[in-house]
């Protein structure tokens, strides 16, 4: 039987409960063999407040409870220059083979601007998409670029179909409604306010122990 691998990328500065909820939702829906978490390095390295090693450590803590096998993949950190999702998915496809189901996880906010991503049509040739709702970002057709609406209309499928298909399908999970952003969390931490409702407790402990985000 071919493998199913969910893929979650981001800056994770820091990883928060929204990330964990997105991964958990699709772990429940898809029962994947593996959750691949890929920390990114923004083009402007100074934009990051935590080091690569610190972000990886926080990811290991945050996803330790996920039932799938969790792999923290540093490939984008090891790449020189700007990195693009399409390049990462090409590398994953080469690694995992043609038969594996790769499901790239994104939120509704990312879906609304998917048509601005480099070679975004090629994403469907490399992976499936798992899309989660997010408060304030509508998944209705009227809120999405027409080209994205057209692609979704052709590709919507059940979790079971995604699990059994290597690429080209989209599943939308409208029930996930966690409204958290890393920008908000960094602001809360800088002000010394409690972030218990925004971060996994083990990540908050790590942040406090390492005096991250000026708390």
DSSP string, 149-210: HHHHHHHB--HHHHHH-SSS-EEEETT------HHHHHHHHHTT---TTTS-HHHHHHHHHT
Query: Would residue 91 count as lying in a domain?
Result: yes
Query: Would residue 208 count as lying in a domain?
Result: no
Q: What is the pLDDT of residue 43?
A: 67
Q: What is the pLDDT of residue 179?
A: 65
| Cα–Cα distance list, 209 to 14, 155, 191, 213 (Å) | 14, 45, 17, 11
Q: What is the pLDDT of residue 142?
A: 86
Query: Would residue 213 count as lying in a domain?
Result: no
Q: How many domains does the chain have?
A: 1
Q: What is the pLDDT of residue 203?
A: 94
Query: Would residue 201 count as lying in a domain?
Result: no
Query: Would residue 185 count as lying in a domain?
Result: no
Q: What is the pLDDT of residue 167?
A: 98
Q: What is the pLDDT of residue 146?
A: 95
Q: Report the mean per-residue pLDDT for the chain.
A: 90
Are 144 and 152 contacting, i.e. CB atoms less than 8 angstroms apart?
yes
Query: Would residue 211 count as lying in a domain?
Result: no
Q: pLDDT tens digits for the chain (215 residues)? A: 689 999 999 999 999 998 999 999 999 999 999 999 999 987 655 678 899 999 999 999 999 999 999 999 999 999 887 889 999 999 999 999 999 999 999 988 899 999 999 999 999 999 999 998 877 777 788 889 999 999 999 999 999 999 999 999 999 987 666 667 777 788 877 776 666 678 899 999 999 999 998 75
Q: What's this model's pTM, rounded to 2 decimal places?
A: 0.92
Query: Would residue 144 count as lying in a domain?
Result: yes
Query: Would residue 207 count as lying in a domain?
Result: no
CATH number of the domain encompassing residue 70: 3.40.50.620
**What are the residues facing 42 on neighbouring strands?**
none
> Distance between CA 151 and CA 169 in Å, rounded?
9
Q: State which residues form the domain around 160.
A: 4-180
Q: What is the pLDDT of residue 138?
A: 75
97: left (phi over 0), alpha (psi -120 to 50) or beta: left
């Amino acid at each position: 039987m071919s493998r199913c691998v969910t893929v979650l990328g981001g800056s994770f500065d820091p990883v928060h409960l929204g990330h964990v909820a997105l991964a958990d939702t699709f772990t429940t829906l898809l029962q994947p063999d593996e959750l691949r978490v890929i920390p990114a390095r923004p083009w402007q390295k100074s934009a990051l407040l935590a080091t690569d090693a610190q972000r990886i450590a926080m990811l290991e803590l945050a996803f330790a409870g996920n039932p799938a096998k969790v792999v923290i993949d540093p490939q984008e950190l090891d790449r020189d220059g700007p990195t693009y999702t399409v390049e990462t998915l090409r590398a994953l496809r080469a690694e995992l083979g043609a038969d594996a189901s790769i499901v790239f996880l994104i939120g509704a906010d990312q879906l609304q601007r998917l048509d601005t991503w480099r070679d975004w049509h090629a994403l469907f040739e490399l992976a499936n998409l798992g899309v989660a709702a997010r408060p304030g970002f509508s998944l209705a057709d009227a809120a999405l670029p027409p080209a994205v609406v057209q692609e979704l209309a052709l590709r919507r499928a059940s979790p079971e179909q995604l699990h059994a298909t290597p690429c080209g399908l989209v599943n939308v999970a409208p029930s996930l409604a966690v409204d958290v952003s890393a920008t908000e969390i960094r602001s809360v931490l800088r002000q010394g306010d409690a972030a218990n409702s925004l971060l996994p407790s083990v990540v908050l402990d790590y942040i406090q122990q390492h005096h991250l985000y000026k708390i």
